[in-house]
Structure 1
């Protein structure tokens, strides 16, 4: 914990115990996931010898949970978010056991089914920290907290993928799965220890309409959500909110553009094992570079934006272009070192774009519907990544990884220019403003 002393005294990691536990729980969980994913990439590639199957892993890791989105979305607003996250962490142990069985029997089918199970747990558990964050930290610290939380995906990738490759090479895939299982248990324990409530709130009848239609509105009676689940009614309410809030719609479209191009990330193991002729350590090295870029991206993006609402949109759109340029450079790389540099640059763009979009959604969304908005954003991320990966798998077989990477890199540039021009010209989008009041519940600021 020594690094905490280097942070500013007002940083939520130093002065907010609830956020600190949420942060480290997410860190352990994400790091363990990447340990397992690196081992799974090598297992599938060596069992099938097919780059298409390796790219397909991203689709299996993304799509299954999306099919349950109408049910999963409302759960994050209707149930206790802490208990729901703990249940997801504990429930994820079952597919981890399935991966153990797949690795020991050599069954690719069982490995894919187990990965699909982890996808379902991830789609439900992943958005909970982002949905709960405005309830745990004051509004003036939200940007710092989201930058820290958003960088965790990247840091988990940085540490998990890098060490995962080393551990897999040294002790075999079973060791990486053991780390993954232990990470879920640690995460569940940390989340359960948070004293502050970060459940959703149920607005009173007099404020219900305002809280859905006006982002800055705050429910008047903050009580834990226990309302009856209405999957289709809740989702209809969500779509009405999105349609009536242009900034939310714009940021969701940015997420779609980013993730439709993301299938080319699934080709990193193909570059490492095929073009660069590296082993599991090479796969880990490329993922390490990817993670380093994605850690730097949110920090660079936040420094450039400096809480300027209009600059947030411009920088987020430009970051999508950086992603495309990085992977165009990867397609030209002939060595592991230059490939790592290209992945680093590309994922600086990914990290900045993704975190700026999520932070904007948090600021523009009231708590009564924030869980559904976050699940929708994560669901779109998973669905578009899955569709992109499904397209990449056969295209790679037909055209080769370099050609497919170039096509998706160019698509990222087109999406960036189109989104930035349309957003700049749309006066209805307005300004993302930090509300003057906040709908936090039982914030735990003790140290």
Structure 2
């Protein structure tokens, strides 16, 4: 952070935009619940925030490898100001459909912008610095949740939802300015070859099939996000079960964020630079996520609920960041953008599907029942994935992981 100005700018740009996003999400959670009275609609926010970008996945991946990553990120940041302004109108007119539409547009911009820092990071730091740099950068999502959701609840309660939206819009503008000041290129090589979605997608598919470590981490991502929709019920726990208002929503998100910030650093210490340990630790972290939410379904007060959310998201943070860093280490630059977009796309798609499933489940069997079902699925996925990885731990796959370890330095 002190010696690498370009990394510092990328870090600060990502931190600002993510923090602003969580300010908005806290305000949206309360807005939608108050105007619909439905836990399902509140959980649906996660689906709307996840699924739209999946539709454009075959285009976004090649864009990240073929188009100047700096210009692409700046365009996304500046373009995101428009739907934020639309949310101000939606809040003023009390229009839930308009609010959901603006959130969908924001998710499209995020689908293009979010994979860029991970794809570009190996070009801004040395291979020896990469694991720590990715741990720090990857934990920004959680830190943005920790600061953005916690402060967002306070700001929303004190000054109203409109103030949170103004802060979000300003964060995008400052983020664009910081990215524009990054001196080093965000791509190792510049290509003038035009985007060919079918050929580029076929190349990506062949690479994933030929690289067992990459395939394993992608499957782990699917398992994590398939169960992640249960997180959309956190605002409902605060508002309906604990009767804690917007401040309670912020408190649960703050506990969630604290766990997810600490998880990557804990996971990094446990793997000790070994790809084999990374694989097994990431799977265990998925099980911790499920156990944390099983505990949440049992509690009846805000304090214990915060502890359960913190434990669950220790697992989320470790699992997600260990997977992303493993993919970075195993992927060359010319295809890294597509791999990062693929992992973000899989995360969005399965998180959205999970959120869509949680909504009717919460309405039919109640929040605790839906929480137990999703959390139990996470534990089952972790066990299944661990068995699969153990069976793959054979000489040829050990050689592939050893090559990734050597790439790390």
Normalised-by-shorter TM-score class: over 0.9
Q: 1:152 to 1:96 in 2, by over 3 A?
A: same
1:122 pairs, out of 110, 115, 137, with 110
SS at match of 2:22: helix
1:380-406 CA distance string (max 9 Å, x none) = 000000000000111111010100100
Q: 1:315 aligns with which of 252, 266, 281?
A: 281
The correspondence for 1:84, drawn from 66, 72, 77, is: 72
> 2 CA distance for matches of 1:226 and 1:29?
30
8 A Cα contact 2:275 2:404, kept in partner: no
Structure 2 counterparts to residues 48-447 of structure 1, below 5 A: 48-201=36-189, 224-426=190-392, 427=394, 428-430=396-398, 431=401, 433-434=403-404
Q: Structure 1's 308 and 105: CA in aligned 2 closer, same or farther, altered over 3 A?
A: same
Q: CA offsets, 1:27-76, max 9 Å, x none? A: 00100000000000000000000000000000000000110001111000
CA distance in structure 1 between the partners assigned to 2:187 and 2:82 by the alignment:
26
1:21 deviation in Å? 0.6
Q: 1:331 to 1:436 in 2, by over 3 A?
A: closer
8 Å contact kept, 1:157–1:287: yes
**Shift of the alpha carbon at 1:435?**
6.9
Offset of residue 86 of structure 1:
0.4
Mapped to 2, the partners of 1:146 and 1:271 lie a distance apart of 32
Query: Alignment partner of 2:310: what SS?
Result: helix
Residues 320-343 of structure 1 show CA distances to partners (whole Å, capped at 9, x for unaligned) of 000000000000010000000000
Which has more helix, going by share of residues?
A: 2
Query: After superposition, what is the alpha-carbon deviation per residue over 1:146-199, rounded to whole angstroms, capped at 9, x for unaligned?
Result: 010011001000000000000000010100000100100111000000010012
Quick one: distance in 2 between partners of 1:121 and 1:57? Answer: 16
Instruction: Tell me the SS of whatever aligns to 2:273.
Output: coil
Query: How far apart, CA to CA, are the structure 2 residues paired with 1:378 and 1:130?
Result: 10
1:200–1:225 CA distance, 2 compared to 1 (3 A): farther
Rounded Cα–Cα distance in structure 1 between residues aligned with 2:40 and 2:391: 40
Matched residues, number? 404
Q: Answer yes or no: is the 8 Å Cα contact 1:166–1:284 preserved in 2.
A: yes
CA deviations on 1:101-140 (whole Å, 9 max, x unpaired) are 1000000000000000011001110000000011111100
Q: Which runs of 5+ in 2 are unaligned?
A: none
Residues 360 and 432 of structure 1 are in contact (CA less than 8 Å); yes or no, is this contact kept in structure 2? no
Number of the residue aligned with 1:442: none
TM, length-normalised to structure 2: 0.97
SS of equivalent residue, structure 2 residue 185: coil
For the residues of structure 2 that align with 1:248 and 1:15, how far apart are their CA atoms?
A: 31
Contact 2:24 2:152 in 1 (8 A): yes
Distance in 2 of aligned mates of 1:334 and 1:414: 26
